């Protein structure tokens, strides 16, 4: 996190490992499997996050899935997330109905932003509903695929222009398939920014701890 901040990242998304990450491709799946095999848990995550706000001033979100959070206790999880200093959550498998009727009020209680995802197939009425329920930003998935796929950003221009024309409440960030300066720049033509996970994890896959600042800096500078 310190390396990302120093390198010029604008926001940090921390992935919480899960055994069945439905929105994630093979690279992030493998990283989750590796983390879980090493004993990673939500409890350990909160221990690692203690005091991080003494150094990190960027917005920080947790991205994960409902199953382990429900096992932990949704309100307990939200309370500890807020107490740790995290700003919000991305939970791709939390349906809109359940958010409105059960979980949204808990997120609001602990002043946590919540980010919904939309895809090229999401109808305009639903996009507007998800935009109204989201806070922070709206996550525009570049294709109906998983993270890390070679999504043709340029081929989705009509979809991105449609989102632009809707004058949504939230800024839009584009994710899935963003991996280099070309795809990052193309996404930023249509949105306020782009989200990169797989390409960064690949760079860190076999890195030693001392190499992380240099590799992170080189990667961010190659994009921006």
Q: Which of 10, 13, 80, 113 is catalytic?
A: 13
Are 160 and 191 contacting, i.e. CB atoms less than 8 angstroms apart? Answer: yes
Give the three-state DSSP class for 32: helix
Check if 180 is active-site. no
Paired with 114 in beta bridges are 89
Q: How far apart are CA 23 and CA 65, in angstroms?
A: 9
Beta strand extents in the chain (DSSP E only) = 12-15, 60-63, 88-90, 113-115, 117-118, 138-141, 172-175, 193-195
Are 173 and 195 contacting, i.e. CB atoms less than 8 angstroms apart? Answer: yes
Tokens standing for 177? Answer: 């398939």
Check if 13 is active-site. yes
Q: Which of 20, 24, 100, 124 is catalytic?
A: 24
Are 74 and 91 contacting, i.e. CB atoms less than 8 angstroms apart? Answer: no
Phi, psi of 111, rounded to the nearest 5 degrees:
55, 45
- For the annotated catalytic residues, the residue numbers are 13, 24
């Amino acid at each position: 996190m310190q390396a990302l901040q120093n390198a010029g990242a604008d926001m940090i998304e921390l992935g919480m490992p899960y055994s069945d990450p439905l929105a994630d491709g093979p690279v992030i799946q493998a990283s989750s499997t590796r983390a879980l095999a090493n004993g990673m848990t939500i409890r350990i995550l909160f221990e690692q996050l203690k005091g991080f706000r003494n150094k990190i001033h960027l917005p920080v979100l947790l991205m994960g899935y409902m199953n382990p959070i429900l096992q932990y206790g949704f309100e307990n999880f939200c309370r500890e997330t807020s107490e740790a200093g995290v700003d919000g959550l991305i939970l791709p498998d939390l349906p809109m109905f359940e958010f409105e009727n059960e979980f949204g009020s808990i997120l609001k209680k602990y002043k946590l932003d919540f980010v919904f995802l939309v895809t090229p197939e999401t109808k305009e009425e639903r996009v507007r509903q998800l935009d109204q329920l989201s806070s922070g930003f709206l996550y525009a998935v570049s294709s109906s695929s998983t993270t890390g796929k070679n999504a043709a950003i340029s081929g989705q221009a009509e979809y991105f222009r449609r989102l632009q024309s809707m004058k949504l409440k939230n800024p839009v960030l584009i994710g899935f398939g963003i991996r280099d300066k070309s795809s990052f720049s193309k996404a930023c033509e249509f949105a306020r920014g782009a989200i990169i996970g797989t390409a960064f994890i690949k760079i860190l896959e076999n890195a030693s701890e001392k190499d992380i600042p240099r590799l992170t800096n080189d990667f961010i500078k190659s994009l921006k």
